[in-house]
């Protein structure tokens, strides 16, 4: 039963491409830390194979832009607002 639910959830994540958002969030946490993410990132969304990261400050935008190449999952681009 547990494996069936996990399988369904994993398939849902792949179909809605939420796994790309999760992967991007994990990379941000690994690079900058959870506190940076909580303070400086408003929202991470996916639209037309583009991961959109909205930041609170220009300083956060600059820091994320410097690390942008390492954030991008395969076949997607990253836009930082």
Full-model pTM: 0.68
Q: What is the dihedral of CA 39, 15, 9, 26, to 10 degrees?
A: -30
Chain position carrying tokens 């959870």 = 34
Judged by DSSP in three states, 8 sits in helix
Residue 60, phi then psi, degrees to nearest 5: -65, -40
Q: What is the mean pLDDT of residues 25-53?
A: 84
Look at 18 and 74; give whichever has higher pLDDT: 18
pLDDT reading at 75 higher than 60: no
Instruction: Answer whether 27's CB lies under 8 Å from 41's CB.
Output: no
Confidence of residue 44 (pLDDT cuts 50, 70, 90): confident
Q: What DSSP element (H or E) covers 78?
A: strand 77-80
């Amino acid at each position: 039963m547990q494996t069936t639910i996990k399988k369904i959830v994993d398939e849902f994540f792949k179909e809605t491409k939420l796994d790309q958002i999760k992967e991007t969030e994990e990379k941000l946490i690994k690079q900058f830390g959870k506190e940076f993410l909580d303070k400086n990132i408003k929202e991470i969304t996916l639209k037309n194979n583009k991961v959109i990261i909205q930041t609170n400050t220009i300083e956060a935008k600059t820091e994320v832009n410097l690390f942008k190449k390492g954030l991008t999952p395969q076949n997607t681009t990253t836009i930082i607002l």
